[in-house]
Amino acid sequence: MSQLLGMKAICGYIRRSESTALELIRNYGMPAWKAKGIWESDTEAIDEWRRDRLKSPHENTDKNGKPSADRPRKKERGQGAARKTAITNE
């Protein structure tokens, strides 16, 4: 098990930008977490996640490769969420 500490280490390992890494974590379930303000991950966990994605690359994605509607989305915050709910309920 080789631990990756910090977003730079994670990005270096997966050879992607920080914004892409964050999208992979948030929308596609790449194994990484923030502990006391520092991003952490594990090379073996990332490799396993990649292998699983290769086995079923279209699982949980729509025809454009974006997360499908049945995937959990980020929670809406603030008054905008309440306003949006009020508009859709009318």
- Angstrom distance (rounded) from CA 5 to CA 38: 7
Percent of the chain with pLDDT over 70: 61
**What's the whole-number mean pLDDT along residues 79-90?**
52
> 25-42: per-residue pLDDT in tens?
999 999 999 999 999 999
Reading phi first (left if > 0) and then psi (alpha if -120 to 50, else beta), residue 74 is in: beta
pLDDT of residue 25: 95
- The count of domains in the chain is 1
How far apart (Å, rounded) are the C-alpha atoms in residues 76 and 86?
A: 14
State pLDDT tens for residues 55-76.
876 665 655 556 655 545 555 5
Which pLDDT score, from 0 to 100, does residue 78 have?
58
Domain membership of residue 67 as a residue range? 3-89
Nearest in space to 1 (alpha carbons), one of 48, 71, 58, 69: 48
Q: Tell me whether residue 39 is exposed, middle or buried, using C-beta atoms within 10 angstroms of its C-beta: 0 to 12, 13 to 18, 19 or more.
A: buried
